[in-house]
Amino acid sequence: MSARCELRYNYPMSDLISRRALLGVSLPAIAAGLPAADAKRLNVVVAGGHPDDPETGAGGTMARYAALGHNVISLYLTRGEAGIDGKSHDEAARIRTAEAEVACRILRVRPVFAGQINGAAEVTNARYDEFRKLLEGLQPDVVFTHFPVDTHRDHRAVSLLVYDAWERARRRFPLYYFEVMTGEQTQNFHPTDYVDITATEPLKRKACFAHKSQGPEEFYPYHEKMSRFRGFECRAEHAEAFVSSALNQRAGAEIRGL
């Protein structure tokens, strides 16, 4: 096993998994440095409530997928309309959309906006259908979104919309949940998977700092502590942690494409 952590699994010690399995196994494509051209090019969708959520929750993982040549989409439920004090919804949306576009260029991913409003996200039958059609149109091979136990309504909303689309798609693609501002926003998060983002953490940092209106000098140190802590858990310098939606079915399956 490589000394570097590429992907880590977290299993209950009561399962009596070996130390080697607990620490994780690298995927052959990562170990060999194979680009997507040598495997299947994946459509990876990372869905967040607002501009900056995908970047803070999974920015390092997004950058790793992109570096391997996969097609990565940052799907924003809203444009952050209520996210800048003293600005109208239209003004804030313009500013935050531009920031998101810069962040996506840094990570080499594509932004997509779902059209809901920051602070007024809806979870209705019509919104379920609307979001399902949008996600289906992106033809995802793997999807990441907010862990549903979260203090922010918009985070909970997008998590439920993604989950419903996943169910309606008959669980065709793997679904993973990420964390943001754990303890303040994400709650009761117990990871099943880790991705080593040591090499891509600088890109994640730069993408997060593209969201100038959100005070990254205040929020990013929080996330840096999180990535260092998750790295400590899996013996990496920096890592992002995820919860698999199908833990009881995966039997040690890896995060697809990494």
HEC string for 106-122: HHCCEEEEEEECCCCCC
Which domains can be identified in the chain, with CATH numbers?
A: 40-248 (3.40.50.10320)
Which residue has 């602070």 as its token pair?
119
pLDDT, the chain, mean? 85
pLDDT of res. 88: 95
pLDDT of res. 37: 58
* Residue 234 CB partners (closer than 8 Å, separation 6+): 5, 8, 10, 23, 24, 194, 196
% of the chain residues with pLDDT over 70 = 81
Cβ 161 vs Cβ 76: under 8 Å: no
Mean pLDDT score, 215-221: 94
Quickly state the pLDDT bin for 258 (edges 50, 70, 90). confident
Q: State the Cα angle at 191 between 179 and 25, rounded to 5°.
A: 120
Determine the Cα–Cα distance for residues 64 and 70; give it in Å rounded to an integer.
9
pLDDT of res. 36: 59
Least confident of 12-16, 176-180, 225-229: 12-16
Quickly state the pLDDT bin for 246 (edges 50, 70, 90). confident
Q: Bin 24: left if φ > 0, else alpha if -120 < ψ < 50, else beta.
A: left
Which residue has 């993973």 as its token pair?
176
pLDDT in tens, 153-172: 999 999 999 999 999 999 99
pLDDT of res. 254: 64
C-alpha pair distances (Å), 155 with each of 50, 175, 213: 8, 16, 19
pLDDT in tens, 10-68: 433 223 222 222 222 232 233 334 565 556 899 999 999 999 999 999 999 999 999 99
Cβ 78 vs Cβ 114: under 8 Å: yes
Q: State the Cα angle at 241 between 13 and 82, rounded to 5°.
A: 140
Which helix (H) or strand (E) segment holds residue 146: the answer is strand 142-146
Determine the Cα–Cα distance for residues 232 and 234; give it in Å rounded to an integer.
5
pLDDT in tens, 115-164: 999 999 999 999 999 999 999 999 999 999 999 999 999 999 999 999 99
- Global confidence as pTM: 0.85
